Chain A
Amino acid sequence: MDTLSHLAHGFAVAFTPTNLMWCLLGTTLGTAIGVLPGLGPALTIALLLPITYQVAPEASFILFAGIYYGAMYGGSTTSILLNTPGESATIVTALEGNKMARSGRGGAALATSAIGSFVAGTLGTLGVAFLAPVVVKFALAFGPAEYFSLMVLAFITVSAVLGSSSVRGLTSLFAGFVIGMIGVDLQTGQPRFTFGMTELLDGVDVIIAAVGLFAVGETLYMASRRYAGKDEIVPLKGSLYMTAAEWGRSWKAWLRGAAIGFPIGAMPAGGAEIPTFLSYAIEKKLSKHKQEFGTVGAIEGVAGPEAANNASAAGVLVPMLTLGLPTSATAAIMLSAFQSYGINPGPLLLTTQANLVWGLIASLFIANVILVILNLPLIGLWVRLLKIPAPQLYAGILVFATVGTYGISQSPIDLVILYLLGAAGFLMRRFDFPTAPVIIGMILGPLAETQFRRAMTISNGDWSVFYTHKLSLILLTLAFIGLAGPHIWAFIEHRRRRGPEHVPGDA
């Protein structure tokens, strides 16, 4: 049997009324937990594991798949409306999404993220169905050297969020490195920057940092500006959904986001954050509306990263279904659900459990459709949140951020960190330091460090691995072009316009 007939069979499994009901339940639940910071799909599925004793394997995996995809949709809502990311994969969405919401285009931001999620989720699921064996080979070719080069490439995204001054932006980035380094070093087990505090040994959760810097910092800043009459939120301007122009700007970003997200999601150490960073940087570079980035909010900056994080969620399923390799917490828990049915997840899963796997893939397509139907009408309801008067709205955000943070690990220390970072976020905002590079530094810094040290251990200290490995060299070259390209281009343009005899020394 070929892929198509397998897939048709999968749809036959997924299209029974009971299984559709499980799918609807899963997607609804997933959307709800995605909205709440601190409650992720991994934890939710872990809590629902006992259900595997009660229902057929198909039903429980369809439920889990619904939760998994649903959380990816829900996570962007609070990022856009409240600047409070529910998942680390939606941190980038907050950058432009929240700016759009403040200037009256919250509905469009939510719509582009929902439709973009649908498009990318569907493309990603198609990728799982048709390309899995190819993609997994490519993904496994990524070793520590390649990952490090990928991180280097991701670092150029920092230049997209630096703001008006590179010095201020880089200061923020390095502050992020330091925060990211707090805790026990994975390679040697030594504590760093913990000042003898046990609570700091696990490091600072990136969600807490994002919520602190973005939501709490912003709220404090708004409170300080209450009577200056600045930064009023415009609840809604123009149509609720996207205009034709916004569609035109979104669709390419969705496709690019999906193309970046899927392969990186399939890599064992790829994750969902890096593709969102890369997508954001690319959209900003390619956009004809650069002036909207960081001011009124550019729709490409929402559409791309949202598509990227949903496509990467589909990508994660590739190593899980083809090799039995869990590359995210959610995948690991879904694999342990396989085991509770006595199914050994491994390279033989696809052949021994074809019904189950293809039923799962078919249900992912259905989940995507249900999610977009579920989410679009909700937009009208969500944007009404912004009609709440500012003081009440911001008080609500503070409560939401605090409760969500406490929910992550029930640790009071996390609340102290949240408000310390909130205060830092306020000061940064007040003195015009961008906050996004801190988060990028926190996520990329430790990843790059670990992969670099692994690569060096494997090569026995030989630096050449970074340019003798073909993939690594390609990635480094791309990073170089990304960084130096615009300057070289500007130099050439400059010369062409002024003529060769006027070569300025400061190009």
Chain B
Amino acid sequence: MLNRRRFLTGTAAVGATGLAGLHFTPAFAEGAPQIQIFVPAAPGGGWDQTGRTIDQVLRSEKLISGSQITNVGGAGGTVGLPQFISQWNGKGNSLMVAGMVMVGAIIANKAANNLTQVTPIARLTGEFEALVVPADSPFKTAADFVAALKADPTKVPVAGGSAGGSDHILFGLIAKTVGVPAPSLSYVPFAGGGEALSALLGNQVAAGISGFGEFSEQVKAGALRLLAISADKRQDGIDAPTLKEAGIDVELFNWRGVFAPPGVSDADKAAMITLVETMAKSDAWATECKNRNWTPILLTGDDYAKFVTEDTARIEAILKDLGLA
């Protein structure tokens, strides 16, 4: 039903999003390609959702004939990355979902492989983070949380994603900004969003830091209280201050994007960039981003490669400051 409606308005939509869409369509019209999506995280988390949404939109837009999603989870993606590099080498129809979490994990884990070994295709989305507490927590505001952290950081265990990931980095940044030494922090890494969430709902930890989308339903239902978000400005429909407004001068976007394996041909790379770009400019993608609280921040090819290099340097500096690298 949705498809048919989109099909009817399709021509107009493609026209509106630029001639590029029309121009590249023929390349995929003849036998739309099969693609493989590699998700270096367990099913259910942010990368997995990104991978599955890419798959859905590509299919519904008829840009691909089918796809296969492989999940290899653990350690902020550093378990999956080496496999993608070694076993997927040269597979031009493949995409790996990755992002800032992996950059941090590679540095913190002193991993043997890094993102310079894969082929950057596109940065797709950014997600601001949320600082939450269980509903019956004594912390009513971010200031309460900071006060407790200053009093004794070891008494404030905070749950989040894997060690060195964006959640860990944000926790470190908050602590550094308010003058709490990083090594004294009590950070509890979990493999996926679901597991960290259950630790929060079960009052096992004092607070949690993760992507806003992972907590939003629980916040809506009143099971968790949202203290602050890490966005640059206040967001529509979200009843919480930014960290800056709450007096903590920190801003963080957890970006996510896609990479092709090493050793793909220039033609394959160009075709893949076109494919992802066409997808990212579709209405279906915009709708999905809105539903999932993702901010679309498209950046492709060489610009994306440059961004990854710069961001790697930035995160490495932060992690070193924080004693995590």
Q: Which residues of A in the span 180-221 have a Cβ within 8 Å of any Cβ on B?
A: 183-190, 198-199, 201-202
Q: Are B204 and A144 in contact (CB under 8 A)?
A: yes
Given contacts A325-B194, A332-B43, contact A457 B157 (CB under 8 A): yes
Q: Which residues of B in the span 45-77 have a Cβ within 8 Å of any Cβ on A?
A: 48-49, 52, 55-56, 59-60, 68-72, 74-76
Q: Which residues of A in the span 341-355 have a Cβ within 8 Å of any Cβ on B?
A: 342, 344-348
Q: Mark A46-83, 1 if CB is under 8 A from B, else 0.
A: 11011001000000000000000000000000000000
**Distance to closest chain B CB from A178 (angstroms):** 18
Q: Are A458 and B186 in contact (CB under 8 A)?
A: yes
Q: Are B197 and A325 in contact (CB under 8 A)?
A: yes
Is B155 positioned at the interface, with any CB of A under 8 Å from its CB? yes
Is B140 positioned at the interface, with any CB of A under 8 Å from its CB? no
Is A106 positioned at the interface, with any CB of B under 8 Å from its CB? no
A50–B271 alpha-carbon span in the complex (Å): 24
A391–B218 alpha-carbon span in the complex (Å): 58
Question: Which B-chain residue is minimally distant from A348 (CB atoms)?
Answer: B221
Q: Which residues of B contact A199 (CB under 8 A)?
A: 83, 86
| Interface stretch (choices B21-29, B105-113, B118-126, B298-306) | B105-113
Q: Which residues of B in the span 154-210 have a Cβ within 8 Å of any Cβ on A?
A: 154-155, 157, 162-164, 186-189, 191, 194-195, 197-199, 201-205
Is A103 positioned at the interface, with any CB of B under 8 Å from its CB? no
Is A133 positioned at the interface, with any CB of B under 8 Å from its CB? no
A154–B108 alpha-carbon span in the complex (Å): 33
Question: Which A-chain residue is minimally distant from B73 (CB atoms)?
Answer: A202
A348–B216 alpha-carbon span in the complex (Å): 12
Q: Which residues of A contact B49 (CB under 8 A)?
A: 336, 339
Is A417 positioned at the interface, with any CB of B under 8 Å from its CB? no
Q: Are B194 and A327 in contact (CB under 8 A)?
A: yes
Is A460 positioned at the interface, with any CB of B under 8 Å from its CB? yes
Q: Which residues of B contact A53 (CB under 8 A)?
A: 2-3, 59-60
Q: Are B43 and A143 in contact (CB under 8 A)?
A: no
Given contacts A53-B60, A340-B56, A458-B157, contact A187 B163 (CB under 8 A): yes
**Distance to closest chain A CB from B133 (angstroms):** 15
Q: Which residues of A contact B48 (CB under 8 A)?
A: 332, 336
Q: Which residues of A contact B60 (CB under 8 A)?
A: 53
Q: Are A189 and B111 in contact (CB under 8 A)?
A: yes
Q: Which residues of B contact A460 (CB under 8 A)?
A: 154-155, 157, 186
Q: Which residues of A contact B188 (CB under 8 A)?
A: 144, 454, 457-458
Is B82 positioned at the interface, with any CB of A under 8 Å from its CB? yes
Q: Are A326 and B205 in contact (CB under 8 A)?
A: no
A142–B86 alpha-carbon span in the complex (Å): 39
Q: Which residues of A in the span 136-160 have a Cβ within 8 Å of any Cβ on B?
A: 139-144
A480–B31 alpha-carbon span in the complex (Å): 64
A323–B167 alpha-carbon span in the complex (Å): 22
**Distance to closest chain B CB from A470 (angstroms):** 14
Is A324 positioned at the interface, with any CB of B under 8 Å from its CB? yes
**Distance to closest chain B CB from A143 (angstroms):** 4
| Residue from the list A142, A269, A324, A327 in contact with B217, Cβ < 8 A | A324
Is B15 positioned at the interface, with any CB of A under 8 Å from its CB? no
Q: Which residues of A contact B52 (CB under 8 A)?
A: 49, 336
Is A272 positioned at the interface, with any CB of B under 8 Å from its CB? no
Given contacts A332-B42, A458-B188, contact A184 B78 (CB under 8 A): yes
Is A301 positioned at the interface, with any CB of B under 8 Å from its CB? no
Q: Which residues of B in the span 65-102 have a Cβ within 8 Å of any Cβ on A?
A: 68-72, 74-76, 78-80, 82-83, 85-87
Q: Are A198 and B44 in contact (CB under 8 A)?
A: no
Is A242 positioned at the interface, with any CB of B under 8 Å from its CB? no
Q: Which residues of B contact A162 (CB under 8 A)?
A: none
Q: Are B186 and A268 in contact (CB under 8 A)?
A: no
Q: Are A189 and B195 in contact (CB under 8 A)?
A: no
Q: Which residues of B contact A187 (CB under 8 A)?
A: 163, 189
Is A319 positioned at the interface, with any CB of B under 8 Å from its CB? yes
Question: Which B-chain residue is minimally distant from A319 (CB atoms)?
Answer: B198
Is A13 positioned at the interface, with any CB of B under 8 Å from its CB? no
Q: Are B186 and A143 in contact (CB under 8 A)?
A: no
A317–B45 alpha-carbon span in the complex (Å): 18
Given contacts A143-B202, A460-B154, contact A347 B105 (CB under 8 A): no
**Distance to closest chain A CB from B166 (angstroms):** 14
Which of the listed residues A186, A199, A201, A454 has the most CB atoms from chain B within 10 Å of its own CB? A201
Q: Are A189 and B218 in contact (CB under 8 A)?
A: no
Q: Which residues of A contact B154 (CB under 8 A)?
A: 460
**Distance to closest chain A CB from B243 (angstroms):** 24
A140–B71 alpha-carbon span in the complex (Å): 26
| Residue from the list A142, A144, A336, A347 in contact with B223, Cβ < 8 A | A347
Given contacts A346-B218, A347-B221, contact A268 B157 (CB under 8 A): no
| Residue from the list A42, A189, A411 in contact with B105, Cβ < 8 A | A189
Q: Are B162 and A346 in contact (CB under 8 A)?
A: no
Q: Are A184 and B75 in contact (CB under 8 A)?
A: yes
Q: Are B157 and A323 in contact (CB under 8 A)?
A: no
Is A333 positioned at the interface, with any CB of B under 8 Å from its CB? yes
| Residue from the list B42, B78, B194 in contact with A268, Cβ < 8 A | B194
Is A335 positioned at the interface, with any CB of B under 8 Å from its CB? yes
Q: Which residues of B contact A131 (CB under 8 A)?
A: none
Is A12 positioned at the interface, with any CB of B under 8 Å from its CB? no
A319–B194 alpha-carbon span in the complex (Å): 10
Given contacts A332-B43, A457-B186, contact A140 B75 (CB under 8 A): no
A269–B42 alpha-carbon span in the complex (Å): 14
| Residue from the list A47, A139, A202 in contact with B83, Cβ < 8 A | A202
Is B9 positioned at the interface, with any CB of A under 8 Å from its CB? no
A336–B52 alpha-carbon span in the complex (Å): 8
Which of the listed residues B72, B198, B203 has the most CB atoms from chain A within 10 Å of its own CB? B198
Is B11 positioned at the interface, with any CB of A under 8 Å from its CB? no
Q: Are A198 and B86 in contact (CB under 8 A)?
A: yes
Is B314 positioned at the interface, with any CB of A under 8 Å from its CB? no
Q: Which residues of A contact B202 (CB under 8 A)?
A: 139-143, 268
Q: Are B157 and A325 in contact (CB under 8 A)?
A: no
A202–B3 alpha-carbon span in the complex (Å): 39
Q: Which residues of B contact A348 (CB under 8 A)?
A: 217, 220-221
Q: Which residues of A contact B80 (CB under 8 A)?
A: 202
Q: Are A346 and B221 in contact (CB under 8 A)?
A: yes
Q: Which residues of B contact A49 (CB under 8 A)?
A: 52, 55-56
Question: Which B-chain residue is minimally distant from A184 (CB atoms)?
Answer: B75
Is A388 positioned at the interface, with any CB of B under 8 Å from its CB? no
A141–B180 alpha-carbon span in the complex (Å): 30
A325–B60 alpha-carbon span in the complex (Å): 27
Given contacts A189-B109, A454-B188, contact A201 B83 (CB under 8 A): yes
Closest 8 CB pairs of A and B: A346-B217, A189-B109, A332-B44, A140-B202, A268-B198, A143-B204, A347-B221, A332-B43
List residues of chain A with CB under 8 Å of any chain B CB: 42, 46-47, 49-50, 53, 139-144, 183-190, 198-199, 201-202, 268-269, 319, 323-327, 329, 332-333, 335-336, 339-340, 342, 344-348, 409, 411, 454, 457-458, 460
Q: Given A139-B202, A332-B43, A457-B187, 6 more contacts at CB 8 Å?
A: A49-B56, A140-B198, A140-B201, A143-B202, A323-B218, A326-B194
15 residue pairs of the A-B complex, CB under 8 angstroms, read A53-B2, A143-B204, A185-B75, A186-B75, A189-B78, A201-B79, A202-B72, A324-B217, A332-B42, A332-B194, A336-B43, A336-B49, A348-B220, A409-B72, A460-B157
